[in-house]
Chains A and B, each alone.
Chain A
Amino acid sequence: MAGAAPIFDEMTLADGAVRPAYETLARWLQSIPPDLLATRSREAEALFRRIGITFAVYGDAASTERLIPFDVIPRVLTSDEWGRLSKGLTQRVRAINAFLGDVYSKREILRAGIVPEDLVYRNPAFRPEMNQQPVPHGIYVMIAGIDIVRVDGDTFYVLEDNARTPSGVSYMLENREVMIRLFPELFSAHRVAPVENYTDDLLATMQSVAPRSASSDPTCVLLTPGLFNSAYYEHTFLADKLGVELVEGRDLFVKADVVYMRTTEGPKRVDVIYRRLDDDFLDPLVFRPDSALGVPGLMSAYHAGNVTLANAVGTGVADDKAVYSYMPEIVKFYLGEEPILKNVPTWRCREADELKYVLERLPELVVKEVHGSGGYGMLIGPKATSAEIETFREKLIADPANFIAQPTLALSTCPTLVEEGVAPRHVDLRPFVLTGRDKVRIVPGGLTRVALKEGSLVVNSSQGGGTKDTWVLDS
């Protein structure tokens, strides 16, 4: 499955045949005037600029706020493909929630020796403060973003679980809105499953996990770190669509283990906090004492069961890349089922024989930092210079437990508008999985990210990737 495998294009098979999902789209691409896509692309950019949708890239001093490139050619999935994916996603997030409930209470999976104890206890994302502390309705991850890649007609892999504060859903929603405005004719030619009910689903999910002591009409808020956060635009966007207050830590206070919001009409009790603020900053009385972004006393109210945090505190221990490698076992352990979605084969460098294997094959592997995210701090062997490989080799030997390695996957490609015209580019997919007390909700599709550089496998927006609208066709 290494570099030699043929690359699967989601529109056109190796023999030139168009896959059924793309039949109408392919015909349309053939029929349009050559400059139409470029024109629409400029219009799309103008629309995004007007909406004000931007994204901050850390370490890019020249432009702290910029547009994520948007590709006007949609990615298409059939309802069969989506059906399988959505079953697998539901299963995966159920297992993640069961794992979190266990590592913060009975720790059966550690006792059973399935996940090594130190991988949990010494994991920076594990929060000892959550030990033996119940969370409302036992749900830890209400909002998950599961990154999926595809390698052939049948095989989808989970590349990464995001169980902390996954972002990107605003792009999914905006991309669809812009596409409907730019290509109404394409929407009348396809039965595309809607995504705009995402925010209704999110609100229903949040309301369903309100503490038992809350009223039947619980008050939800969105807690943001503020203007300087890279996803601030998304926070304002979601609060607006949800119809809830966008608050910063200083807008909330805790009295007698209850959280209140300061309003012009006096204090108002808050029941559910969709927090886009990292654990470390949530409460200076429990976590970083120098945090001015959090709410002093929040954890005390949380432990008293008077407020729900979505997601719960300490969920990062489930999306750690080293814990990821145990996900197939985690699914089996808690659900007694075979995993529907596969994991990418992963070598754990913490294990001596696996480290040896990885060191021998660095030029063909992808090596990632266990706690890294956003495509920072990784080595893509086939694309790296020998000097880069040697530098990475030293890092690996110095701290093997900090790394995992995976084969370089032949990610699927989708037709994408680039300077030379329409060409295949590698993509991934981040569906958003909402877990409420009543049920799991997933809007069909998700955010497709595309690596705009020819041959590039890095789709992260922080690394210059773009996005596409994702269509799930109703059968």
Chain B
Amino acid sequence: MRIRIAHETVYSYAVPAHAVIQTLRLTPRNYEGQHILNWRIDVDQDARLDAHEDAFGNITHTFSCAGPIQTLTVRVDGLVETSDTAGVVRGAVERFPPGLYLRETALSAADPAIRSFAEARERPGDRLSTLHALLDDLARDMTFDKDPTHASTTAAEAFALRRGVCQDFAHVFIAAARHLGIPARYVGGYFLHADGTVDQEAGHAWAEAHVPDLGWVGFDAANGLCPTEQHIRIACGLDYLNAAPIRGSRHGGEGEFLTVKVMVDQALRQVQVQ
């Protein structure tokens, strides 16, 4: 499937900022099931994008610009060819052995409620079934709701509410899996809605868990399914903070206002001319 993505983030400041610095994790890599045909990032300020690969193998771009800055727009346009791999991630850049992904973080720590939720779904000796039980029951028990949570909501807080956005679903899934000794990680990306909805308010997030013999397998708890050809995988890490599309800081300025527009659409197949 060929998917077109346009993702625009606009910061505007009531009082202009003196300087802004940001690190972007907005560039996907190729792996089995995902091939990047075209990808570009534009920043509408005079800035140089310095590319790095971070410790998890994600591509980052850091830029800084000097003010006065009234508005700042970060725009991503891309075209990606995907195919269904039943959620199994093969050929991705791996910088750590799976054991690293048992590490607890503040956002993904399991509290007693998550622990007992996880333990009740453990199928000894069958990791894949355990993970599917976690996936199905989280999708059933938690309600998608963008009001009560925010970027720094922890897994425990979201699970107590049984509400949240895809980030919260992913954190709860990760916390539960790690509690059972299953390496799990956070993935940020995009999702093409099957119902034809093109315009979205945010990117998407899900989890990956490590299964012996299969390797890393995706689990999208917010949608209750394993990633399909509708998922575009951008960055991974221990939790949201390692994979956040934009982490920034500004010097001076006041009254920051943020708007995010994401458009994910199926691109028309082009006829290959030899």
Contact = CB atoms under 8 A, between A and B. Distances in A.
Interface residues of A, number: 26
A303 to B, nearest CB: 6
A296 B100 CA distance: 26
Interface string B226-258: 000000000000100110000111010000000
A129 B64 contact: no
B21 interface: yes
Interface stretch (B47-55, B117-125, B126-134, B212-220): B47-55
A285 B55 contact: no
Interface stretch (A114-122, A158-166, A340-348, A351-359): A114-122
Contacts of B251: 253
A256 B48 contact: yes
Interface stretch (A53-61, A130-138, A391-399): A130-138
A361 B91 CA distance: 52
Interface string A260-289: 000000000000000000000000111001
B260 interface: no
A133 B50 contact: no
B249 A285 contact: yes
Interface string A231-259: 00000000000000000000001111100
B99 interface: yes
A380 B66 CA distance: 56
A256 to B, nearest CB: 5
Nearest to A122: B103
Contacts of A133: 55
A118 B183 CA distance: 12
Contacts of B60: 300
A417 B168 CA distance: 60
Given A257-B62, A297-B21, A304-B50, 12 more contacts: A117-B99, A122-B102, A122-B104, A128-B242, A133-B55, A253-B21, A255-B64, A256-B48, A256-B50, A286-B247, A296-B249, A300-B23
Interface of A: 107, 117-118, 121-122, 126, 128-133, 253-257, 284-286, 289, 296-297, 300, 303-304
Interface of B: 19, 21-23, 48, 50, 52, 54-56, 60, 62, 64, 66, 95-97, 99-100, 102-104, 152, 238, 241-242, 247-249, 251
20 contacts: A107-B97, A121-B99, A121-B102, A122-B102, A126-B103, A128-B56, A131-B56, A133-B55, A253-B19, A254-B21, A256-B50, A256-B64, A257-B62, A284-B247, A285-B247, A285-B248, A297-B21, A300-B50, A303-B52, A304-B50
User: Top 10 closest A-B pairs, CB basis?
Assistant: A296-B249, A131-B55, A300-B62, A297-B21, A285-B247, A121-B100, A285-B23, A257-B50, A255-B64, A296-B21
